[in-house]
Chain A
Amino acid sequence: MPDGNATGIGASVPRKEDRRFITGKGNYTDDINRPNQTYAYFLRSDIAHATLNGVDTSAAEKAGGVVAVFTGADLAAAEVGGVPCGWALTFQNGDPMKEPGHPILAQGKVRHVGDPIAVVIAESRKQAKAAAAEIKVNLSDLPVVVDMTKAIEGGQSVHDEAEDNICFDWAIGDKAEVDAVFEGADHVTSIDIVNNRLIPNSMEPRVAIGDFEDSTGDYTLYTTTQNPHVIRLLMGAFVLKIPEHKLRVVSPDVGGGFGSKIFHYAEEAMVTWASAQINRPVKWTSDRSEAFMSDAHGRDHVTKASLALDKDGKFIGLKEETLANMGGYLSTFGPAIPTYMHSVLMAGVYTTPVIYSNIIAVFTNTVPVDAYRGAGRPEATYIIERLVDRAAREMGISQVELRRKNFIPEDAFPYQTPVALAYDSGNYNATLDTALKNGDVDGFDARKAESAKNGRLRGIGYSTYVEACGAAPSAVAGALGARAGLYECANVRVHPTGSVTVFTGSHSHGQGHETAFAQLVSEKLGMHTENIEIVHGDTEKIPFGMGTFGSRSLAVGGSAIDKALDKIIDKSRKIVSHILEAGEGDIKFADGNFTVAGTDKTMAFGEVALAAYVPHNYPLEELEPGLEETAFYDPTNFTYPAGCHVCEVEVDPTTGVTEVVKFTAADDPGTVVNPMIVEGQVHGGIAQGIGQALLEGCSYDDNGQLLTGSYMDYTMPRADNLPNYVVSTESTACTHNPLGVKGCGEVGAIGSPPAVINAIVDALSDLGVTDVAMPATPQTVWRAIQAAK
């Protein structure tokens, strides 16, 4: 076998999964076709809010190629459940949040443009679509609720259960205590912030194929999900009442997720249920227009925040009041995003002693809002880092010095924040120093003068952030309202000749697990990644899993693999002890070989595997044959990646066009398993963060019509909008997981937006501009310049 060390932890091993993707042999859900399959087309509401008086499907049923048509009434009659919400929040007084139902197909009312009303199943996609046009829907328009500020004034409610459209009014921190601190503060900086609504837009649209097998009663759902076991649990237990042993969920190659493929969607339940009704497979492929109005959206917070400082610039208190859009229904993790993924991060990297965060979650006639890359943490970081930037300007303290003055110092870890989280490790000065150096911040003034010669205003902006990944102890999450555990599972199967297959509950949809996870095994067992296969995305193969979201795969899923490998090595040691007739304590394992201390006795890992499966000389009375172990890992804390992003922009003051000309990131993702993959993850996150800051903004008109419903209207970052990035890592190890890893999938999207906007504000500060909203399109920037004149 080739040397394992070359492919262990820390090596930029080229990705094992690439070959199939670069040769067109990937297996995405839409590439799957089942014998005799039918095609589903969803008729969706083109009105944002209306009473649904009736749906007449008679003409559609007679249309060519149509196999069946179903409406909400059919599902109600069959007692099909609604899409469940996975996290229960409470009001400040402890009352449970308002949790209205979310039917698979609309019942009684439609609540957003895109709300599915009926599904047509036909022999071809074309026939299904044509027949849907024959469906007559009787709707009575209702006043539309779009703006959150107006929504909570009441008058028109999206759900009868929530008259004032408030899903919950929740808070963390002691308001009276924080108010008192603000009373006595030497300086208070305030800001109004909109965290713009985004549409995730993984390049692969969602697809779901339901396949019921009559002879066995088995259901299979092929779907574009980040967590197949979670879908099996939610859909099986709550929607369709199919027990786990009769329901298989397969998520093969998935073309990006960014959070939007975490959730259980109505279409998954629909095709699975319909397949059993017609006893044929049912396939649904979202087109992009449909994705814009049916994939959960992200962000959409409106915030008022203030920071209190003493005369030396020490932060003494922080408060925020945020309206968080939930959309027309609660998506799977919707309520958790603005609260337990957001408010608990409001300390940032600073020693702010008291914090109050009040979150009011609001129903509106828009697509449901849920996690999108970063999920709550970009919103928190944006508030904090805009406040800090503004405070520095107001008090005449340098951006860098004000941050340093308030950093949680290196020797203060573990550090208990006032908002529940306890950070285990970090070194915020180190990432800041690296970013300043790599970004040549000393040379900024010269570059600014150079830009000025060309009529461009150059600005520099900073963001020093921390986030929370790898959620988290199941018991704590449960106490906070999570309706699921947050551990991960791994099964390591050593084959008789010593090669290894790992079955992981994590799911890769671009993150490179097939390589990075193999590196964990390579490191530990001293074998080359060639001999290691990582299997994910199939509930029939993998014992269990919570899937991939919140940068948890390596920290939680990787730790589960590590634990299973420990069990493999422990058992191997027992086998070796028997065969080499040595005490277990004397047996060392390194570089793939077991050796007995003080002797030249040795046994290679492959020989141990063979002995386990051909147990001729084997301690059968004490030990089972075979070499396969399963582990579940439940973390004891979140992990806390952190870092510093520095952005330089050039603004053309005559047009408002802003270009990111330099972007430097120094991040602390904990132990780095594959530097190449980590860099790639950071690049992608930064691109999405710059997208939020400069380009992307989902927009509804007052009638709840989605104005940004295609790539003609919703500005995706393209190659010519973005710079090259200078990224590096400056790691401190996580102290509570066996690998020391923290996470890297979201840091780019979390750290970057405030760096970009702070840079624009800096560029325009001489003109008197103090704020620019996201997305800072040319028009927004130009208007800000005009307004300051």
Chain B
Amino acid sequence: MTTVSMTVNGKAVSAEAAPDTLLSDFIRESLALTGTHVGCDTSQCGACVVMVDGSSIKSCSILVVQAEGAKVTTIEGLASDGELHPMQKAFHENHALQCGFCTPGMMISAIDLVNKNPDLSEADIRHGLEGNICRCTGYHNIVKAVQAAAAEMKG
């Protein structure tokens, strides 16, 4: 066991973890932040995406020890003071979620995309989200939501 420390959703956390623990398992099990989901075991689905130091990353693809000292934002940390992030609002308004399982990872990937390229095209969005699988929505409304959020985030 090693002790790992990081900032998660603005709060300093410190916990014991086996060195082979994945960041996704640490978030779900040690921190009980169950909004981050695990949908596969080959780092293909994107349900587990979180922000680490400002970039989206599949949290099942790194060990928790690699996030030592990092600033991590999970889905639970997106809204501030009860005010939804524009991406959350846009997903709600555009019916961009059905079962909600892919949604946390999808939104965090989308936020990273928009942060990096505020003027992205529909093709950019579709290409940029190809690491996040959604089985429910057929992506149409997800694309619409990301476009709407991008406009507002620029705003």
Q: CA A687 – CA B135 in complex, angstroms? A: 8
Q: CA A419 – CA B74 in complex, angstroms? A: 54
What B residues does A512 contact at CB under 8 A? 98
What A residues does B35 contact at CB under 8 A? 23-26
What B residues does A204 contact at CB under 8 A? 37, 39, 99, 101
Q: A680-B95, A684-B98 are in contact. Are A28 and B140 (CB under 8 A)?
A: no
Chain B binder among A136-144, A251-259, A487-495 = A251-259
Q: CA A719 – CA B109 in complex, angstroms? A: 13
Q: CA A677 – CA B92 in complex, angstroms? A: 12
B53 at the interface (CB under 8 A from A): no
Nearest Cβ on chain A to B63's Cβ, whole angstroms:
14
What B residues does A710 contact at CB under 8 A? 40-42, 44
Interchain CB contact (< 8 A) of B98 among A24, A25, A28, A510: A510
Nearest Cβ on chain A to B43's Cβ, whole angstroms:
9
Contact A680 B93 (CB under 8 A): no
Contact B98 A711 (CB under 8 A): no
What A residues does B30 contact at CB under 8 A? none
Q: Mark A1-41, 1 if CB is under 8 A from B, else 0.
A: 00000000000001101111111111010110000000000
The range of chain B's interface size is 35 or more
B138 at the interface (CB under 8 A from A): yes
Contact A22 B98 (CB under 8 A): no
Q: CA A161 – CA B36 in complex, angstroms? A: 47
What B residues does A22 contact at CB under 8 A? 75, 84, 88, 91-92, 97, 100, 103, 107
Give B109-135 interface residues, CB cut-off 8 Å to A: 122-123, 125-127, 129-130, 132-135
Q: A22-B84, A711-B42 are in contact. Are A716 and B135 (CB under 8 A)?
A: yes
Contact A15 B92 (CB under 8 A): yes
What A residues does B127 contact at CB under 8 A? 719-720
Interchain CB contact (< 8 A) of A288 among B39, B92, B130: B39
Q: Which residue of chain A lies nearest to B132 when distances are taken between CB atoms in the complex?
A: A719
Most buried by A among B95, B107, B142: B95
Q: Mark B23-66, 1 if CB is under 8 A from A, else 0.
A: 00000000001111111111011010000000000000000000
Most buried by A among B38, B84, B91: B38
Give A510-524 interface residues, CB cut-off 8 Å to B: 510-512
Q: A25-B35, A722-B138 are in contact. Are A254 and B41 (CB under 8 A)?
A: no
Q: CA A326 – CA B125 in complex, angstroms? A: 40
Task: Report the interface size for chain A: residues with CB under 8 A from the other chain.
Answer: 55
Q: CA A686 – CA B136 in complex, angstroms? A: 10
What A residues does B139 contact at CB under 8 A? 683, 687, 718-719, 722
Q: Which residue of chain A lies nearest to B75 when distances are taken between CB atoms in the complex?
A: A24
A401 at the interface (CB under 8 A from B): no
Q: CA A546 – CA B95 in complex, angstroms? A: 27
Nearest Cβ on chain A to B81's Cβ, whole angstroms:
13
Interchain CB contact (< 8 A) of B135 among A30, A202, A686: A202
Contact A680 B141 (CB under 8 A): yes
Q: A510-B100, A711-B40, A711-B44 are in contact. Are A256 and B34 (CB under 8 A)?
A: no
Most buried by A among B40, B102, B132: B40
B76 at the interface (CB under 8 A from A): yes
Q: Mark B71-96, 1 if CB is under 8 A from A, else 0.
A: 00011101100001000100111010
What A residues does B40 contact at CB under 8 A? 287-288, 710-711
Q: A14-B92, A204-B99 are in contact. Are A711 and B135 (CB under 8 A)?
A: no
Interchain CB contact (< 8 A) of A683 among B88, B101, B140: B140
Q: CA A748 – CA B142 in complex, angstroms? A: 18
Interchain CB contact (< 8 A) of A686 among B88, B129, B138: B138
What A residues does B93 contact at CB under 8 A? 14
Q: A677-B95, A711-B40, A711-B42 are in contact. Are A31 and B34 (CB under 8 A)?
A: yes
Nearest Cβ on chain A to B113's Cβ, whole angstroms:
11
Q: Which residue of chain A lies nearest to B139 when distances are taken between CB atoms in the complex?
A: A719
Nearest Cβ on chain A to B153's Cβ, whole angstroms:
16
Contact B101 A28 (CB under 8 A): yes
Interchain CB contact (< 8 A) of A718 among B36, B74, B88, B133: B133
A289 at the interface (CB under 8 A from B): yes
Contact A256 B101 (CB under 8 A): yes
Q: A15-B92, A510-B136, A687-B139 are in contact. Are A203 and B99 (CB under 8 A)?
A: yes
Contact B34 A203 (CB under 8 A): no
B143 at the interface (CB under 8 A from A): yes
Contact B129 A201 (CB under 8 A): no
Contact A288 B126 (CB under 8 A): no
A205 at the interface (CB under 8 A from B): yes
Nearest Cβ on chain A to B60's Cβ, whole angstroms:
10
A676 at the interface (CB under 8 A from B): yes
Nearest Cβ on chain A to B97's Cβ, whole angstroms:
6
Most buried by A among B93, B125, B139: B139
Q: Which residue of chain B lies nearest to A681 when distances are taken between CB atoms in the complex?
A: B98
Q: What are 10 A-B pairs at a CB distance below 8 A?
A: A14-B93, A21-B100, A203-B45, A204-B101, A287-B41, A680-B95, A680-B136, A681-B98, A716-B133, A718-B133
Known: A24-B34, A683-B140. 7 other contacts (CB 8 A): A19-B92, A254-B99, A255-B37, A288-B40, A683-B141, A710-B40, A748-B138
